A = this chain, B = another copy of it.
Amino acid sequence: MFLDKNKKTIIVFSGDLDKAMASFIIANGAAAMGNEVTMFFTFWGLNILRKPEKTSTRKNFLESMFGWMMPRGAARLGLSKMNYGGMGAFMMKAIMKQKNVNTMQEMIETAQSLGVKMIACTMSMDVMGLKEEEMIEGLEYAGVATYLGEADEANVNLFI
């Protein structure tokens, strides 16, 4: 029955710090309120889940170019607006520290401890040349059909 449904899905397409924060604030809030939450990371959103350290992987030329240009993990994301080569993200993080707001890395850990299901989109990983060894632990790997199955069971579905 509809009113009993308490599942939410979020497609995290963006890899910007501000949008990543919005995604995790909603996901963690919903999970804390007893919802089942699935986050589906695709395109630039996959960068949020990269390990910060360099990982040795076999990549062709174009894959290496993309891998080199994209941020490695939650600590290196920029803002979608007013980033000014990283100054904006730096200011945002300074303010968040001042206000005792959790960092992105802490938000990801909270999501994992609350049981938020995080799925990395395999098709985007293939296009962007990202390999499972460069991603953080605890992810599931699947495609759009899995996302659609999850969304069908949810009553709130967002694309961020």
* Residues of A that sit less than 8 Å from B by CB: 1-2, 5-6, 11, 13, 15, 18-19, 22, 25-26, 29-30, 33, 35, 42-44, 60, 62-63, 65-66, 69-70, 80-82, 91-92, 94-96, 98-99, 101, 123, 126-129, 143-145, 147-148, 151-152, 155-160
Contact of A62 with B33 in the complex, beta carbons under 8 Å: no
A94 CA / B25 CA spacing, docked (Å): 36
Contact of A144 with B29 in the complex, beta carbons under 8 Å: yes
Contact of A158 with B156 in the complex, beta carbons under 8 Å: no
Q: Using CB atoms, name the residue of chain B closest to A43.
A: B18
Contacts of A35 in B (CB 8 A): 148
Integer count of this chain's copies in the complex? 3
| In the complex with contacts A33-B145, A91-B65, A155-B156 CB distance below 8 A | no
User: What are 21 A-to-B residue pairs whose CB atoms are below 8 Å?
Assistant: A1-B2, A11-B158, A15-B81, A18-B44, A26-B144, A26-B148, A29-B144, A29-B148, A33-B145, A33-B148, A62-B95, A66-B95, A92-B127, A95-B127, A96-B127, A151-B155, A151-B156, A152-B156, A156-B157, A157-B158, A158-B158
